[in-house]
Amino acid sequence: MPLSARNRLAGTVRSIDADGPLAEVVVETEGGETVAAVITRDSVDRLGIDEGDGVNAVVKATDVMIEAE
């Protein structure tokens, strides 16, 4: 499926925490960092993803903020 977003982080689903109609999906990237996304439970079912599956975390944002420590 073609997609215009260029920011793709390949990784593995580490956890899916479904609560009500939403689910938090945590993906561990190939570099060892984690990315979390909140998607609908229906999307989890439609994608057929489960813990241990390889996925791409696709980032499409209009703003990226930087904070100094």
Distances (CA, A) of 66 to 22, 38, 42, 56: 28, 22, 33, 23
Q: What is the pLDDT along the chain (69 residues), one digit of tens a residue?
A: 777 777 889 999 999 999 899 999 999 999 999 999 999 999 999 999 999 999 999 988 778 787 888
pTM as predicted: 0.84
Question: Domain locations in the chain?
Answer: 7-59
* 7-59: CATH number: 2.40.50.100
